[in-house]
Homo-oligomer: A and B are copies of this chain.
Amino acid sequence: MNFSSNLIENAVREISKLPGIGSKTALRLVLHLLKQEEQSTLTLTEALRKLRQEIQYCRKCHFIADKALCSICESSQREQHTICVVENSQDVMAIENTAQYKGLYHVLGGVISPMEGVSPADLHIDTLLERCFAVDFQEIIFALSPTMEGDTTAFYISKKIQNPEIKITSIARGIPVGSEIEYTDEITLGRSILFRTAQN
């Protein structure tokens, strides 16, 4: 596409690097910004710059935070003896939005994946183990992706913990609410029969 302007071309190129945004959408966004007040673009760019330069990660659980400790680790309202191990900060937000969990979190930053060159040393497993030794956790919940990598990571960590006192669980796998049994894949359906729960 011929943009007639290097400024537009640069802006379109940078915006279309974002996931799910092609050059047509990027051009639409650029022309939208040009129609708005200059201040609205400056507010946007300032928010992004500040975000990227000032963001911190909680030094305890590695969740995104504005300061050294995230609001969850700081809170005394949270159940201090349960810890939920997740892959990334998005997972924490997703679980928080369910309002079904009141314990602590630990963000691994990924899962062990030899195929993609992610080894246990690349993840925040050491800090998790330190926390497990330091605090008297009663339960560790693995909320990792239901994939080979997720399972491997959960297995690896549970072996490392070596503490029979700590109950280790995984979030339930089964048929998602609202889906239809006939279209559910065999593994999920098989597991959901095997790990059936009591009708309450």
Interface residue ranges, A against B (CB under 8 Å): 1-8, 10-11, 13-15, 17-21, 25, 27-34, 38, 40-55, 63-66, 70-72, 88-90, 92-93, 96-97
Contacts and interface: CB of A to CB of B under 8 A. Distances in A.
| 4 nearest CB pairs, A to B | A45-B45, A41-B52, A11-B51, A14-B47
Contact of A96 (B2, B8, B72): B2
A20 B28 contact: yes
Given A31-B88, A41-B48, 18 more contacts: A1-B93, A4-B65, A4-B71, A4-B72, A7-B47, A7-B50, A7-B54, A10-B47, A10-B50, A11-B48, A14-B43, A15-B44, A19-B28, A19-B29, A21-B29, A31-B90, A38-B53, A42-B49
Contact of A51 (B7, B46, B97): B7
Nearest to A70: B4
Nearest to A58: B4
A44 B11 CA distance: 7
Interface of A is mostly: helix
A51 B32 CA distance: 12
B63 A52 contact: no
A174 B54 CA distance: 55
Contacts of A18: 29, 32-33
Nearest to A13: B47
Contacts of A14: 43-44, 47-48
A40 to B, nearest CB: 7
Contacts of A96: 2, 4
Contacts of A93: 1-4, 27
A50 to B, nearest CB: 6
Contacts of A20: 25, 28
